[in-house]
Amino acid sequence: MAASTPITGRGVHGLTYAVLGWAVAYGGVRQAWTVGEAPEFGRLGLDLLGFTGWWSVLLCAAAGGLAVALEWVPTWRPALAGLAWTVAGSLVAAAAILLPELVGFLLFTVGPHFDPAAFASRLGCVTGAVLLALATARYQRRTRGDCPDCCRTVRPGARRSTSARWARWAAYAVVGGLVTRFAAQFVVGFDNVDQDASVLGLEIGLVLAGVLLPLALVHHWGEIWPGWVPLVAGRTIPRLLLLVPGFGLGAGIVAYFGMGMVQVISGSPSEFSDAFLWVAISAYLVMGLGLVVASTDYHLRTRGRCGTCGR
């Protein structure tokens, strides 16, 4: 009897039900579109990248199955956690087009390629990724003895007042990636730049995220408003103001341009030369990874003492 009871002793966790419910609902839609007639999804003609047709159904099924496994496996299994994170990452990659669309919304424009049905499908796909990621993080905390609130596993030393060297290198790599990207564009010229509003919005966002954000993540003025900022000078900067765009934009860039790199490797036709695509997309990937790394250090450096474990 004990072997058939979840190790929590309190029944199946709500996150497991959430992932299963999502897998049934969204997976059912994907299956219906696969065996029947899917929407045309506007001018782009697609909603997801890479994982379409039965591959999208398989991802949904894998997410549901992994959610059950994460709930019932009583000990830490790195392979299980790694597989779950891989499926969650694949769901994010499949919805990579969501990145320029969200940036377009922030700039109050959606561009001519926007399609509501495709946008809703990508949001649904990312929702599943978030739910599975939360379930995986909960499994890690539960089986490794981490604090359920702060995820700490060891007693930290004295709080660092400055960023780690590896974080500073990551931040400078973001800036270097941005410079490399526009240097490559300067070499080939700007005549063929897509004027789609969402793409232009993405470029503007990348300029801001490629200089101001990474430097703020590793310098003291990213924690306390500098004196030249009116009204709030000297006040503490809310952590989420940097962490949300740092992690969100970083992961989005990796997903979006990671799928772009897959297309380059597979030989998909493009109006740009292979040399330009290799340099530009590689620079974008460096930017995305650098933002994630710098954001991780910012999170570790600025989080307070946990009220649950006292560490």
User: 224 in helix, strand or coil?
Assistant: strand
- Please tell me the predicted confidence (pLDDT) of residue 70: 95
Report the percentage of the chain scoring pLDDT > 70. 82
Q: Is residue 6 very low, low, confident or very high in pLDDT (cuts 50, 70, 90)?
A: very low
Query: Helices marked H in 189-273 — which ranges?
Result: 197-218, 239-265
d(CA 7, CA 211): 47
145: left (phi over 0), alpha (psi -120 to 50) or beta: left
In contact, 285 and 253? CB cutoff 8 Å: yes
Query: 84 pLDDT exceeds 60?
Result: yes
At 65 the pLDDT is 96
List the Cα angle 252/128/251 in 5-degree steps.
15
Structure confidence at residue 154 (pLDDT)? 55
Task: Give the largest CA-CA distance in the chain.
Answer: 70
Mean pLDDT of 271-279: 87
Do residues 278 and 119 lie in contact, with contact meaning Cβ atoms separated by under 8 Å?
no
* CA pair distance 88, 85, nearest whole angstrom: 5
Half-sphere exposure (Cβ direction) of 173: Cα atoms closer than 13 Å: 20
For 10-68, write each residue's pLDDT tens digit: 566 889 999 999 999 999 999 999 998 888 887 778 899 889 899 999 999 999 999 99
d(CA 101, CA 95): 11
Using one digit for the tens of pLDDT, what is the confidence trace for 88-116? 999 999 998 888 788 777 666 666 668 88
> pLDDT at position 114, please?
81
| Block residue for tokens 């966002």 | 205
Region of poorest pLDDT, from 7-16, 127-136, 252-261: 7-16
pLDDT of residue 1: 37
